[in-house]
Structure 1
Amino acid sequence: MTAVMAPSSSADDMPRPRLLERIGIPRALAWGFLGVLVFMVGDGVESGYLSPYLLEEGVSKERIALLFSVYGATASVAAWFSGALSDLWGPRRVMMLGLALWVVFQTVFLVFALPTVDFPLLLLGYGLRGFGYPLFAYGFLIWVTAVTPRRRLGSAVGWFWFAFTGGLPTLGSLLAGLAVPRAGAYATLWLALGLVVTGGAIALLLVREPTGRARLAPAGERPVATLLGSLAIIWRRPRVGTGALVRAINTTPQFGFLVFLPVFFTDTLGFALSEWLQLLSAMFATNIFFNLIFGVVGDRFGWQRTIAWFGGVGCAVTTLLLYYGTTAAGDNYALAMVLVSLFGATLAGYVPLSALLPSLAPDHKGQALSALNLGAGASTFLGPALVGLLLGPLGVRGVMWTFAVLYLASAVMTVFLRLPDSAATAAHPATDHPATGAPATDHPAA
């Protein structure tokens, strides 16, 4: 594994920064951000209505939770492999693999599984499709971190999460709210497939930056060592492992919400499905803009402090407000809009993790990003799994309190994510090394 990445020949050789560089987007990767956005719109179309749709088709709540858990498990594996495979093959090839897997298994899901409501086929098609989006999206995130100067890294990853959450589930849910009443739930899933293909084509055909087309690991490093090293770093560098756990907590409630909040808002609170989809879109519309804000705030206020206070503590408070506020007010649409937006804003407080973890292991950036992606992928499994275990005995209130406690625990964990003085100074250098985005006197974190 290496900390030195090949330079971007078109992004860092400019005599003065252009508009895209000034706002934090590496110009050579600009089309990739758009491609990720469109891809994730397609991936997120189903997020607000798949659970109630499957209920209507006769699938039990327990089987739906299991289906989402299998999906999350495959996504977790793919998220880990995205870093290791990017080191071995280059991020672009990993993105190609992710696109291919998404298209193949979505086709199985639509052509064979849904028409027959055959649960083993649902598990095969939908569950294995979970390999797709992490390889595509997180492969691009690794590409971003490989070519972005460190002084702009917080802003660049903020733009990545802007594109990611702009699609899943923000614009995806909004599109579903428009398409489902007109075309039907099943046809809307075919629309999602078309969007994923379009987004993949934009990113893979229009981005010409050379770094992502080649392996990132040193020549001669063995594949097995690369794969095992991307997992071993979790206990070899305990701070990286802690950061991966914080990242898992970050979006565990988000994926858990997608299992039970649609039913809670429609059946218990009395909102129409279209209103719930609008609320879900508002939650993550707020989130995508605060992804940008907290990317910049983290570069100035400090990555660790931003994660602890705006992310951990902020999410704990807004999670409880979301439950108690809506149960007290019922189907009060205006209040619900405010509460879901507050949660979406604080959820973005974790954005600096994508800049912090590679800086905790500057000599093994690829491995650190694999750990980060493993945490992100694990959340897609942990959220539905916790809901499946706790919703019956504890109810919605107990699940919401569980999520709030997890967020507070993540805030405490950030105490262990402080950068050493040398690395903290390097995180905001006056001049970045043109090849690595790091100063020439970069020292590995302990």
Structure 2
Amino acid sequence: MTATSPTADSRAPSALSRWLDRVGVPVPLALGYLGLLIFMIGDGIESGFITPFMAANGAGDDVHASYAVTVYGVAVMVASWLSGALSQLWGPRRVMMIGLGIWLVFHVAFLAAAAAQNYPMMLAAYGLRGFGYPMFAFGFLVWITAVAPTARLGAAVGWFYFAFTGGLPTLGSLVASGTNPILGHYGTLWLSLGVIALGGAICLLGVRERTGFTRMAPEGVKPVQSLMSSMSLAWRNPRVGMGTVVRIINTAPQFGMLVLFPTIFAQQIGFGEARWLLLVSVIYGTNIFFNLIFGVVSDKMGWRNTIFWFGALGCSVSILLLYFVPVAFGADYYWLALIVGALYGATLAGFVPISALLPSLAPENKGGAMALLNFGAGGATFVGPALVSLLLVPFGAGGVVISFAVLYLIAAAMTWFLKTPADPAHAAAAADGSADRAQGGDRSATDVTREAPPAESASPR
């Protein structure tokens, strides 16, 4: 009798696969996380010096450079919304391919415009390039939320933001701090082109999970119908609308900070460019690790609670410290700037569960909720620089930072109303409610139903 060899499907998972599953990374998407990290390093290389670079290469001054950043932010906002809606129609992988192509083509056009000192061409090329990274990155986020099981969704999203902010701007700024003295700003921006291409290739060629290859919307849904449905969800489901605003507030100060702080910290306070870029790396280096921590914590203590206490309230305090402590103590106390920078990076990670919370607020239209979530993420890249442009002259840098702190308090107030039955923190309450009913308790069936989480499934949703 001849023994049959086991098939590939019957083989035990490798130690690496078991580890990835244990920490919350969907194993079929693991290479995608690596590719996203490298892609975002390429995108983040410019984050600490793009405004002064444009001012010196055709924009003329920081004000005109900020106009280009604002146009870029509008493009990012629109593309972020499109990435969610179009992923439903075309599949996330196709949307990611389009985003990669846009980034590569218009980055070359932007560098050509900078070399020619042509501000209108620079404005157009940099703005259009803004459609690139959101379609790539947030298309992958849609893929994650379609594949990860509900009980691990917070951790899976935490790993997404670990890769996302690990590149933009953490490791990107660190790379720039090493290459700028050797290659200059212009040469470093050419380097980012190769890094982007490498990350895109790893992600698109390495991930073979089939959910992202196919249409996710029901048959018969047309593009305009899908786009309008996703946008109208904001007022058809007010909690989703509030969650979108919370997502905008989440990173609006971050992008505003990257426009406002380089000149203040490097020149006025006296840190210099190298120490400013190191501070950026510390902020977001701390952030990427706390993205993982709060991703896991939120699956235990609740998505809403994590956002409220650690994200919104935490950031309202830490953003004030990040600006006023260095201004008060000066360049001689650079180590204090590093401490408050790390605090801001840690509290910023408290918003990570919003990517799990928002789709759960609209279980009947998760694709539309993801489109709005991505719209909020992209909107932050516009709102942050726009607030700087509007408030800097009348209120000064301190007034801008105070406005950021107030925004975080508004986000905290809104978050309090974003209770969802899918939040893992309510599972225990649902179990208690079932026990009360069995013992003749006086809790209503409506209360128990509202608090109970949906059934967990390991299959793609």
TM-score by length of 1: 0.92
* Contact kept? 1:43, 1:196, Cα under 8 Å: yes
How many angstroms apart in 1 are the aligned matches of 2:458 and 2:247? 29
How many angstroms apart in 2 are the aligned matches of 1:251 and 1:383? 8
How many angstroms apart in 1 are the aligned matches of 2:355 and 2:160? 10
Alignment match, 2:229: 229
2:416 aligned partner, one-letter code:
V
Residue 289 and residue 316 in structure 1: after superposition, are their counterparts in 2 closer, same or farther (change >3 A)? same
How many angstroms apart in 2 are the aligned matches of 1:318 and 1:434? 38
How many angstroms apart in 2 are the aligned matches of 1:404 and 1:15? 46
How many angstroms apart in 2 are the aligned matches of 1:386 and 1:338? 26
* Contact kept? 2:304, 2:415, Cα under 8 Å: yes
* Contact kept? 2:157, 2:295, Cα under 8 Å: yes
1:100 aligned partner, one-letter code:
G
Counterpart mapping for 1:274-285 below 5 A: 274-285=274-285
Counterpart mapping for 1:72-151 below 5 A: 72-111=73-112, 113-151=113-151
Alignment match, 1:212: 212
How many angstroms apart in 2 are the aligned matches of 1:321 and 1:428? 39
Q: Percent of counterpart pairs with the same letter?
A: 54
How many angstroms apart in 2 are the aligned matches of 1:422 and 1:74? 32
Moved more, 242-251 or 222-231: 222-231
* Per-residue deviation, 1:169: 0.1
* Per-residue deviation, 1:224: 1.7
Alignment match, 1:168: 168
* Per-residue deviation, 1:116: 1.8
- The alignment status of 1:325 with 2:325, answered yes or no, reads yes
How many angstroms apart in 2 are the aligned matches of 1:56 and 1:65? 13
Alignment match, 2:397: 396
Alignment match, 1:361: 362
* Per-residue deviation, 1:430: 9.9
Cα distance per residue 1:177-226 (max 9 Å; x no partner): 00000111100001001000000000000100000000100122222211
Alignment match, 2:253: 253
2:417 aligned partner, one-letter code:
F
How many angstroms apart in 1 are the aligned matches of 2:128 and 2:341? 30
Q: Secondary structure at 2:217's aligned position in 1?
A: coil
Q: Which has the higher contact order (CA 8 A, sep 6+)?
A: 1
How many angstroms apart in 2 are the aligned matches of 1:428 and 1:61? 52
- The alignment status of 1:418 with 2:419, answered yes or no, reads yes
Alignment match, 2:339: 338
1:380 aligned partner, one-letter code:
T
* Contact kept? 2:422, 2:452, Cα under 8 Å: no
How many angstroms apart in 2 are the aligned matches of 1:346 and 1:117? 40
How many angstroms apart in 1 are the aligned matches of 2:340 and 2:262? 15
How many angstroms apart in 2 are the aligned matches of 1:383 and 1:338? 23
* Per-residue deviation, 1:429: 6.3
* Contact kept? 1:299, 1:428, Cα under 8 Å: no
Cα distance per residue 1:331-389 (max 9 Å; x no partner): 12111110111101100000000000111111111100101100100000011110011
Alignment match, 2:302: 302
How many angstroms apart in 2 are the aligned matches of 1:24 and 1:236? 32
How many angstroms apart in 1 are the aligned matches of 2:97 and 2:423? 38
* Contact kept? 2:326, 2:334, Cα under 8 Å: no
Counterpart mapping for 1:264-279 below 5 A: 264-279=264-279
Residue 295 and residue 434 in structure 1: after superposition, are their counterparts in 2 closer, same or farther (change >3 A)? closer
Alignment match, 1:382: 383
Alignment match, 1:444: none
Larger radius of gyration: 2
* Contact kept? 2:249, 2:411, Cα under 8 Å: yes
* Per-residue deviation, 1:272: 1.1
Residue 118 and residue 222 in structure 1: after superposition, are their counterparts in 2 closer, same or farther (change >3 A)? same
1:383 aligned partner, one-letter code:
G
Q: Secondary structure at 1:208's aligned position in 2?
A: coil
How many angstroms apart in 1 are the aligned matches of 2:452 and 2:96? 30
Q: CA RMSD in A?
A: 2.0
* Contact kept? 2:421, 2:452, Cα under 8 Å: no
Alignment match, 1:189: 189
* Contact kept? 1:150, 1:428, Cα under 8 Å: no
Q: Which runs of 5+ in 1 are unaligned?
A: 1-8, 438-446
